[in-house]
Amino acid sequence: MDTALLEAVRSGDRQSLSRAISQVEQGAEPGDGLLEHQGVIGITGPPGAGKSTLISELIRVMRGRGETVGVLAVDPSSPITGGAILGDRIRMQGHIDDTGVYVRSMATRGHLGGLAQAAASTVRLMGHAGFDRVIVETVGVGQSEVEIMNVADIVVLVVGPAWGDHVQADKAGVVEIADLFVVNKGDRPGHSEVASVLREIADAKDARVLVTTATTGDGVGDVLREIDRLVG
C-alpha cells in the first residue's frame, strides 16, 4: 500500500482511511509499521440479539467521554451485488454526522467465521488512524464461528431472552471465547433465565453476565465499565 496513503490515514483523514480499507478489501496488504490498537472490542452473538443497537449506545457513552470511535460492522453479503447489506450502518445513523465516529460496513463475501477476510487488516488501519476505541461487530453468528477471537482483545457475547435453550444445548464455541456476557432486551420475558444459565458458564471462567436494554440505554454504562476493567 502506498506510503503516502498510510500517512494520510495516520493524520486522521477519513477519506484516505476509506480508500485504504477499500484497497485491503480488494486484496492489498497494508504493509508493516502500522500503529496497532490495544483493547479492540469484539461484539458477537446470534441474529436479532440487538448487537448494533448496543454498539450505538456504547458509542453514545464513549462520545460523551470525549473518545473517538471506529466501528467495523461485518454484514451479510448481498446475493445480487456481493456487497454488504448495510443494516448495521443504518442502525447507527444517529452518529453519521459525528466526525468523531467512523463506521465501515464490510461484506463477508462468503468468508466463514463471522468476519470478512479483510477484517484484521481493517482493524489495523483503524488503529493506525488513531481512534480511541475500535469496535468490531460480527455478522450474526453460530456457536462455531469464533474468528473474532483472532481480531479482538475482548470478546463480548450478546444474546437475547430467547437464547437459553441454545446455551444449554451447546456450551462450546463462541461461549467459550467470550470475556463478557450480555443479555440484551432485558425488558422482555425470559432474560433472567438466560442470565442464570450464562452465569454457570461465566463463573467457571471468572467472567461477568450483565443485562441491558439497549433501546433505552439501561445497563450500557455497566457494560462499558466492565470493558474498561478488562482492557486494564
Kind plus residue range of the DSSP H or E element containing 213: none
Select from 141, 79, 81 the least CA-distant residue to 116.
141
More confident residue, 190 or 35: 190
Structure confidence by residue, pLDDT tens digits, 129-147: 999 999 999 876 655 567 8
Would you say the pTM of this structure is higher than 0.85?
Answer: yes
Domain that holds residue 121: 3-231
Cell of 27: 486484496
DSSP secondary structure string for all residues of 158-195: EE-GGGHHHHHH--STHHHH-SEEEE--TTSTTHHHHH
The confidence score (pLDDT) of residue 47 equals 82
Provide the CATH number for the domain around residue 82. 3.40.50.300
Q: How many domains does the chain have?
A: 1
102 within 8 A of 39, measured Cβ to Cβ:
no
How far apart are alpha carbons 145 and 141 in whole angstroms?
6
Average pLDDT, the chain: 84
pLDDT at 63 over 90: yes
